[in-house]
């Protein structure tokens, strides 16, 4: 499926980024005390009260915690219920083969490039088999270079799962993208890239690098405490990011979180 919005449109392309659902095969299994299916569905419901529908939904990895087939089947029906073109990338907890088999059909697509009017969105696979950290392999970097070269006049948004910059938390240093220099070398050759967005870190961050916005987003379940040297869960509520991509290359973005939602979080959790 190649979703193309009319080039004559004046308004922004409206993007909903949702990330790190950590769903289980058993629908109400908990992780650190949190019913991840329930918090995911609550976030989806909340998003549907907010300038709905967006033009596209981007799900940026760790969609499943245990990667079972039934997890992705249930997720496919969650995605289908949105009735919005939906794209995804894997995270370190996901099973790519199962995702490719299951997360497709209807408005849900396994495509990794989206052309939307004055914009193209590129989704990269930064996962490394059996490892938590990320790396962009040669094929991903080549694809990025080719797709950016093909449309020099379209503004670009690049998505991946792992953080390409330091998050200021020691424990997260070894689990980020370990070849960020290679990513930024490509981006530096293509000034039409306006933003890079990722998940994985369960918290929001907004930085700039050479005119490119660097943005991370909350998880739909538990959050990690920003700037903590050791693994620490945060009591911040789950949420999502919205991005409005304007024809002139400008981006307006905001993170929204559930107002009041009891996650039943176990604050003593030592890992996930």
Applying CB under 5 A, among 62, 94, 135, 140 the residue interacting with Fe ion is 62
Of 154 and 202, the one with the shorter C-beta distance to Fe ion is: 202
Would you list the DSSP string of 172-207?
GGGGSBTTHHHHHHHHHT-TTEEEEEE-SSSS-EEE
Using the rule CB under 5 A, give the single segment among 4-12, 60-68, 106-114, 216-224 that binds Fe ion: 60-68
Of 93 and 242, the one with the shorter C-beta distance to Fe ion is: 93
134 binds Fe ion (CB under 5 A): no
The least distance separating Fe ion from the CB of residue 243, rounded to whole angstroms, comes to: 20
Of 36 and 92, the one with the shorter C-beta distance to Fe ion is: 92
Question: What region, left, alpha or beta, does residue 136 occupy, with left being phi > 0 and alpha being psi -120 to 50 degrees?
Answer: beta
* Residue showing the smallest CB distance to Fe ion in the complex: 200
55 binds Fe ion (CB under 5 A): no
Residue 91 contacts residue 59 (beta carbons within 8 Å): no
The least distance separating Fe ion from the CB of residue 179, rounded to whole angstroms, comes to: 17
Which of 20, 27, 79, 90 lies closest to 238 in space, CA to CA?
A: 20
194 binds Fe ion (CB under 5 A): no
The least distance separating Fe ion from the CB of residue 92, rounded to whole angstroms, comes to: 5
200 binds Fe ion (CB under 5 A): yes
CA distance 39 to 30: 10
91 binds Fe ion (CB under 5 A): yes
164 binds Fe ion (CB under 5 A): no
Residue 84 contacts residue 107 (beta carbons within 8 Å): yes
125 binds Fe ion (CB under 5 A): no
Of 68 and 191, the one with the shorter C-beta distance to Fe ion is: 68
CA distance from start to end of the chain: 35
CA distance 131 to 73: 24
237 binds Fe ion (CB under 5 A): no
120 binds Fe ion (CB under 5 A): no
126 binds Fe ion (CB under 5 A): no
The least distance separating Fe ion from the CB of residue 239, rounded to whole angstroms, comes to: 16
CA distance 202 to 156: 24
Which of 118, 115, 156 lies closest to 3 in space, CA to CA?
A: 115
Of 46 and 224, the one with the shorter C-beta distance to Fe ion is: 224
Which of 45, 56, 98 lies closest to 76 in space, CA to CA?
A: 98
Name 90's Cβ contacts closer than 8 Å, sequence gap at least 6: 61, 63, 96, 99, 125, 127, 161
Of 35 and 62, the one with the shorter C-beta distance to Fe ion is: 62
Which residues of this chain interact with Fe ion, rule CB under 5 A?
Answer: 62, 91-92, 200
């Amino acid at each position: 499926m190649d979703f193309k919005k009319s080039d004559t449109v004046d308004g922004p392309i409206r993007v909903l980024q949702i990330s790190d659902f950590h769903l289980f095969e058993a629908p109400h299994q908990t992780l650190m005390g949190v019913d991840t299916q329930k918090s995911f569905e609550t976030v989806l419901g909340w998003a549907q009260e907010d300038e709905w529908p967006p033009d596209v939904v981007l799900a940026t990895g760790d969609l499943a915690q245990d990667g079972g087939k039934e997890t992705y089947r249930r997720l496919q029906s969650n995605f289908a219920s949105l009735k919005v073109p939906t794209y995804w990338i894997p995270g370190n907890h996901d099973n790519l083969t199962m995702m490719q088999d299951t997360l497709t059909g209807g408005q849900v697509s396994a495509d990794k490039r989206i052309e939307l009017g004055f914009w193209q969105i590129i989704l990269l696979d930064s996962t490394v088999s059996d490892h938590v950290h990320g790396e962009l392999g040669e094929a991903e970097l080549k694809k990025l270079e080719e797709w950016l070269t093909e449309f020099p006049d379209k503004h670009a948004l690049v998505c991946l799962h792992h953080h390409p910059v330091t998050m200021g938390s020691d424990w997260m240093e070894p689990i980020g993208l370990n070849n960020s220099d290679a990513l930024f070398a490509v981006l530096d050759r293509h000034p039409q890239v306006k933003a890079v967005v990722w998940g994985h870190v369960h918290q929001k961050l907004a930085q700039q690098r050479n005119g490119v916005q660097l943005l991370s987003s909350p998880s739909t379940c538990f959050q990690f405490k920003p700037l903590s040297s050791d693994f620490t869960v945060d009591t911040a509520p789950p949420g999502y990011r919205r991005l409005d991509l304007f024809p002139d290359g400008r981006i307006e973005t905001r993170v929204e979180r559930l107002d009041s939602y009891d996650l039943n979080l176990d604050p003593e959790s030592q890992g996930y």
